[in-house]
Structure 1
Amino acid sequence: MGRTQSFDTDQVVRAARSVFWAQGFEAAALPDLERATGLSRSSIYHAFGSKRGLFGAAVNSYLVEVVRPRLAPLMADPVRPDALEDYLTGLRAALLRADTLPASSGCLLVNTAGAPIGQDDEVARIVADYRAELRAGLGRGVRARLPQLSGAEQDTLANACTGLVVAAFALVRVDPAQAAGALDTARALIAARE
Structure 2
Amino acid sequence: MGRTQTFDTDEVVRAARTVFWARGYEAAALPDLERATGLSRSSIYHAFGSKRGLFGAAVASYLDEVIRPRLAPLTSAPVAPDALARYLDGLRAGLLRAGSLPATSGCLLVNSAGAPIGHDDEVAGAISGYRAELRAAIGNGVRAALPDRVPAAQDTLADACTGLVVAAFVLVRVAPAEAVRALDTAGALLAAGA
TM over 0.5: yes
Counterpart-to-counterpart distance in 1, 2:76 and 2:48? 34
Mapping for residues 23-102 of structure 1, pairs under 5 Å:
23-102=23-102
Question: Structure 1: which 5+ residue stretches go unaligned?
Answer: none
Mapping for residues 4-15 of structure 1, pairs under 5 Å:
4-15=4-15
- Give the match's secondary structure for 2:81: coil
The aligned amino acid for 2:51 is K
Instruction: Encode CA deviations 1:84-131: one digit per residue, 9 max, x unaligned.
Output: 000000000001100110000000000000000001111111100000
Which residue of 2 is the match for residue 138 of structure 1? 138
* Residue 191 (str. 1) matches residue 191 (str. 2): yes
Instruction: Encode CA deviations 1:122-154: one digit per residue, 9 max, x unaligned.
Output: 111110000000000000000000001000000
Which residue of 2 is the match for residue 22 of structure 1? 22
| Aligned structure 1 segments of 4 or more residues deviating by more than 3 angstroms | none
Identity %: 77
Which residue of 2 is the match for residue 170 of structure 1? 170
Which residue of 1 is the match for residue 118 of structure 2? 118
Counterpart-to-counterpart distance in 1, 2:148 and 2:181? 27
Which residue of 1 is the match for residue 153 of structure 2? 153
Counterpart-to-counterpart distance in 2, 1:13 and 1:191? 39
Counterpart-to-counterpart distance in 1, 2:37 and 2:29? 12
Counterpart-to-counterpart distance in 1, 2:6 and 2:69? 29
Counterpart-to-counterpart distance in 1, 2:73 and 2:190? 17
Question: Structure 2: which 5+ residue stretches go unaligned?
Answer: none
Counterpart-to-counterpart distance in 1, 2:97 and 2:143? 29
Counterpart-to-counterpart distance in 2, 1:172 and 1:26? 20
* Residue 180 (str. 1) matches residue 180 (str. 2): yes
Q: How much does 1:14 deviate?
A: 0.2
Counterpart-to-counterpart distance in 2, 1:145 and 1:53? 40
Counterpart-to-counterpart distance in 1, 2:76 and 2:9? 30
Instruction: Encode CA deviations 1:141-188: one digit per residue, 9 max, x unaligned.
Output: 000000010000000000000000000000000011110000000001
TM-score, scaled to structure 2: 0.99
RMSD between aligned residues: 0.7
Counterpart-to-counterpart distance in 2, 1:2 and 1:192? 61
